[in-house]
Amino acid sequence: MTINISDDGQTTVKTDAVRLMLEKQLQERVDILVELSPRALPTVDPIAYQTAASHRRLVEQITAALNRLDAGTYGRCTGCGREIPAARLEVLPHAAACIECQSHADAA
Ligand SMILES: [Zn+2]
């Protein structure tokens, strides 16, 4: 299955491939989290704690991307609603926003 994320019909995203990749990444992050969790406490192992926190954020972002795939809104910026360039999705399949909106969010 492919979805067309562009009005001009030029850009298609292979959602099955994206889903597989996202699910694989999600599983990897969850595995790491499970491994880290016994010592991922600020007082026990601050580095493991921070690593776990960043993995947890990624798990949330990947889960959200999978939800957008289900909802059919994958590939659209959650900020401005415009298409996220395919090149960006290739590098960052769970990207929720275009570079412009993301840079605003990062600056905030
Ligand atoms: Zn945007």
End-to-end CA distance of the chain: 37
Thinking of the domain 2-107, which architecture would CATH place it in?
A: Up-down Bundle (1.20)
**Gap from CA of 88 to ligand 1 centroid (Å):** 12
Phi, psi of 10, rounded to the nearest 5 degrees: -85, -35
Amino acid 9: pLDDT: 47
**Gap from CA of 46 to ligand 1 centroid (Å):** 34
Domain ranges of the chain: 2-107
Amino acid 14: pLDDT: 78
- Low-confidence stretches of the chain (pLDDT < 50) are 9-10
**Gap from CA of 51 to ligand 1 centroid (Å):** 28
Amino acid 38: pLDDT: 95
Residue type, 55: H
